[in-house]
Amino acid sequence: MILSRFASRHFCVEGEASHRMKSTAHGQEKILDPQVCRSDFNGSELYEDYEDGASLKGAKKSGELDYSPQGLLISSMALEAFEKPGQKLREITSKMMWLVVRALLLLLLIIKLYMKLSSRRCRCRGRLDGKTALVTGGTHGIGKATVAELARRGARVLIACQDFCSGRKVAEEIKRETGNSEVFALHCDLSSLESVRTCAETILRTEKHLHLLINNAAVAIPRDERVLTGDGLEQHMAVNHFGHFLLTHLLLELLKKSQPSRIVNVSSLAHLFGKIEFDNLNSERKYHRYRIYGDTKLANALFTMELSRRLKGTGVTANCCHPGGTVTKVARNVVNFDPLFWVGRFFLKSSVEGAQTTVHLCLSEKLENVSGKYFIECREAWMSSRAKDPAVAKKLWERSEYLVGLAN
Domains of the chain: 1-87 (no CATH), 119-403 (3.40.50.720)
> So what's the pLDDT on residue 376?
93
Q: What is the pTM of this model?
A: 0.71
- Print the SS3 string covering the chain: CCCCCCCCCCCCCCCCCCCCCEECHHHCCEECCCCCCCCCCCCCCCCCECCCCCECCCCCCCCCCCCCHHHHHHHHHHHHHHHHHHHHHHHHHHHHHHHHHHHHHHHHHHHHHHHHHHCCCCCCCCCCCCCEEEEECCCCHHHHHHHHHHHHCCCEEEEEECCHHHHHHHHHHHHHHHCCCCEEEEECCCCCHHHHHHHHHHHHHHCCCCCEEEECCCCCCCCCCCCECCCCCEHHHHHHHHHHHHHHHHHHHHHHHCCCEEEEEECCHHHHHCCCCCCCCCCCCCCCHHHHHHHHHHHHHHHHHHHHHHCCCCCEEEEEEECCCECCHHHHHHHCCHHHHHHHCCCCECHHHHCHHHHHHHHCHHHCCCCCCEEECCEECCCCHHHHCHHHHHHHHHHHHHHCCCCC
The tens-digit pLDDT sequence of the chain (408 residues) is 333 433 334 433 333 334 434 444 444 444 444 444 444 434 334 434 444 444 444 444 444 555 556 665 666 666 565 556 667 777 778 778 888 887 877 776 776 666 665 566 778 888 999 999 999 999 988 999 999 999 999 999 999 999 999 999 999 999 999 999 999 999 999 999 999 999 999 999 999 999 999 999 988 877 778 889 999 999 999 999 999 999 999 999 999 999 999 999 999 888 888 899 999 999 888 888 778 889 999 999 999 999 999 999 999 999 999 987 665 555 445 545 455 445 555 566 787 888 899 999 999 999 999 999 999 989 999 989 999 999 999 999 999 999 999 976
Of the residues 47, 287, 293, 402, which is catalytic?
Answer: 293
Q: What is the pLDDT of residue 205?
A: 96
Task: Note the pLDDT of residue 221.
Answer: 79
Q: What confidence score (pLDDT) does residue 77 get?
A: 62
Q: Is 67 a catalytic residue?
A: no
Per-residue pLDDT, 39: 40
Question: For position 333, what pLDDT does the model report?
Answer: 52
pLDDT of residue 261: 97
